[in-house]
Amino acid sequence: MDRHSTLILSILLNALTTTFFSPVYAGTFDREFDITWGGGRGKVLNNGELLTLSLDRASGSGFQSKKEYLFGKIDMQIKLVPGNSAGTVTTYYLKSKGDTWDEIDFEFLGNLTGDPYVMHTNVYTQGKGDREQQFHLWFDPTADFHTYSVLWNHHHIVFLVDGIPIRQFKNLEHRRIPYPIMQPMRLYSSLWNADQWATRGGLVKTDWSKAPFTASYRNFRADACVSYTGKPSCPAGSPRWLSHRFDLTAENNMRVVQRKFMVYNYCTDSKRFPQGFPKEALKMAALATKQSLLLLLSSLLLLIGVSTGSFYDNFDITWGNGRANIFESGQLLTCTLDKISGSGFQSKKEYLFGKIDMKMKLVAGNSAGTVTAYYLSSKGETWDEIDFEFLGNVTGQPYVLHTNVFTGGKGNREMQFYLWFDPTADFHTYTVLWNPLNIIFLVDGIPIRVFKNNEAHGVAYPKSQPMKIYSSLWEADDWATQGGRVKTDWTNAPFSAFYRSFSDVDCCSRTSVWNWVTCNANSNSWMWTTLNPNQVGQMKWVQDDYMIYNYCTDYKRFPQGLPTECNLG
């Protein structure tokens, strides 16, 4: 990877990374940890929000958690020793007690100024390790804080950096390979001198003229089962980390990191294991071969235009208690509404720009009072959102297609349309094309609305918050049909909407767990698409003949003046 590509990757990762798992506890260092050695070289600062470890010629320093954990997702932000760190080792690991201990290791091996750290990982089971994998990083770990995480459950141990999986150690006990499953572990960290082996096998020694060396820690989070007298107390409900397994996308993302940044893998060191690789190495190699074949097949199918996705693969049904269902081997999804409840679903991935298509067939007959929503939305109080909403009507009257754009939690940019066809008689394609230049709403490939990026004129634009896709069918007869004058006729229930032929081939997306940004298109032509003259003409036809409300012409609503974008063309 060249410098330019590495810089872009680093910017994307750091700009877009968020923590998916909500921590059950994010404590201060004075409450969560004890400094255990160092003669004052370990310090808790900023009211417990920052911890530093120092190393000089006399001693290093270290700390350990007050609690023991048995499974969990544990995060720590660390900023490593800057400059000439050769000979130093900064450790961050989980470990149980006794002669047959279990252990999960991050170790950061310092280097000469300008040369990269080596990030060393290992897994011990019952006192046995020798499972080293080493990596360089795609950023400078001394310039700022980065998040190093361990996800540990019954299925696997996953090492993550800024939310990106770099290594997986699977539970293969059914093949008689021990796995850490019974022994609670404490969290430890230390900064110490190991110049007899740490830097280039001990060839480069510590330069004590640079001492003291300092590593810094902040934002510890533990979404974990805490062990009290040998009995684990786990978070309420069913934490997502507890049942987590890799999907194809996460596996692919890890393979990308390993291909580009791994510098040692015990599973390929035939000189070290002349009598044969460890059992787990052989199993991992077989799984990697199978995974590579699946990824190759998926890529070939995408190249020839065949979608390998299905609603099973791409969406989770999130509410409705059985009223939303997937049929036809994942190719059809339905949402249903009755007097008790509606239903809805959301995408597994988040998207940051893309062209997203969904074919929909809306509620037929008397749909008054119902709303079928199909939209993208980010999280938080200052969310961004791109909306299609279909407002039902009495039999024979047209649906109202309601569109809106939210930026920073602010909307009020409604445009409404009738359609030039019956959206309940057959499936039609509703598309959002979202790139750094504009958001284009399309129906069957015909543009009906454009929201341009006018940040140069002080108009906020969605460009930095990844969004998931959502859809729902729900009752809103207090406002949806003719301003709430027409109510839902429940004798016509249940109401159903249908979805098929979802496509996100032309998108930059990330899984909800791993925060790795992947652009699927071979040619990102959509990334810089604006309307061509023919499309401008099509949009004018739609807006002239089928638009029924435009916020940019509603002077009564904006007596102090129309929004800025309305006057920019």
Known catalytic residues? 385, 389
Distance (Å) of CA 141 to CA 78, 118, 161, 271, 447: 8, 11, 11, 31, 46
Nearest to 90 by CA among 132, 148, 129: 148
Distance, in Å, from the CA atom of 352 to the CA atom of 98, rounded to the nearest integer, reads 48
List the end-to-end C-alpha distance of the chain, in Å, as a whole number. 42
Residues near 124 by Cβ (< 8 Å), separated by ≥ 6? Answer: 95, 101, 102, 103, 104, 105, 131, 180
DSSP state for residue 253 in the 8-state scheme: H
Distance (Å) of CA 352 to CA 15, 143, 332, 540: 11, 26, 25, 28
Helix axes 279-303, 248-261, angle to 10 degrees: 110
Residues near 134 by Cβ (< 8 Å), separated by ≥ 6? Answer: 118, 119, 120, 121, 262, 263, 264, 265
Q: Which long-range contacts (CB under 8 A, 24 or more apart) does 276-279 make?
A: 278/130, 278/131, 278/177, 279/172, 279/175, 279/176, 279/177
546 three-class SS:
helix
